[in-house]
């Protein structure tokens, strides 16, 4: 008798739990699918020195290249683009006339990484507007940007 008194609630519980997951035809989903919300916080890029910039007019993405006269389009999107001028800051070219040489480029940022309420671009690519790029720019046309830790 005592065993029945303890066994009966356990059997009822097992029956209820076993029946909870059984739905004819599997799981049913109703309503429209969830659409991802576009990023709305500020987006930065970092320079060679680890400083953060919000759509900069000039920046040094690598230790050898300096970008200036940047005009951005689609900042905050997955792939913002800019046009500007890239200069040889290390004078690998010998800096004829004492001035660092430069060339016109298209800049493409990518690799958006979210960090709390802000995001950072993790990659920069330089594309010459009038190919080919000068010899001193080879190997500097693509670089990873520093992204702060979470």
Q: What ranges do the domains of the chain cover?
A: 43-144
Q: Are 93 and 136 in contact (CB under 8 A)?
A: yes
CA distance 66 to 10: 74
Tokens, residue 52:
């953060």
| pLDDT over 70 percentage in the chain | 79
Q: What is the pTM of this model?
A: 0.73
pLDDT at 75: 96
pLDDT band at 150 (very low <50, low <70, confident <90, very high): confident
Per-residue pLDDT tens over the stretch 88-142: 988 887 888 888 999 999 999 999 999 999 999 999 999 999 999 998 888 889 9
Low-confidence winner among 55-69, 88-102, 136-150 (lowest mean pLDDT): 88-102
Contacts within 8 Å (CB) and 24+ apart, 34-40:
39/76, 39/112, 39/114, 39/119
Neighbours of 88 (CB within 10 A): 22
On whether the CB atoms of residues 120 and 52 are closer than 8 A, the answer is: yes
């Amino acid at each position: 008798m005592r065993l029945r008194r303890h066994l009966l609630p356990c059997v009822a519980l097992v029956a209820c739990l076993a029946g909870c997951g059984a739905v004819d035809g599997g799981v049913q989903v109703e309503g429209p699918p969830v659409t991802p919300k576009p990023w709305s916080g500020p987006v930065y890029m970092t320079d060679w020195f680890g400083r953060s910039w919000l759509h900069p007019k000039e920046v040094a993405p690598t230790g050898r290249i300096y970008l200036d006269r940047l005009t951005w389009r689609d900042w905050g999107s997955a792939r913002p683009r800019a046009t500007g001028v890239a200069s040889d800051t290390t004078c690998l070219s010998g800096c004829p006339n004492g001035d660092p040489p430069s060339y016109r480029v298209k800049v493409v940022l990518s690799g958006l990484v979210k960090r709390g309420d802000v995001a950072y671009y993790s990659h920069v690519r330089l594309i010459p507007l009038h190919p080919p790029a000068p010899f001193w720019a080879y190997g500097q046309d693509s670089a990873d940007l520093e992204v702060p830790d979470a």
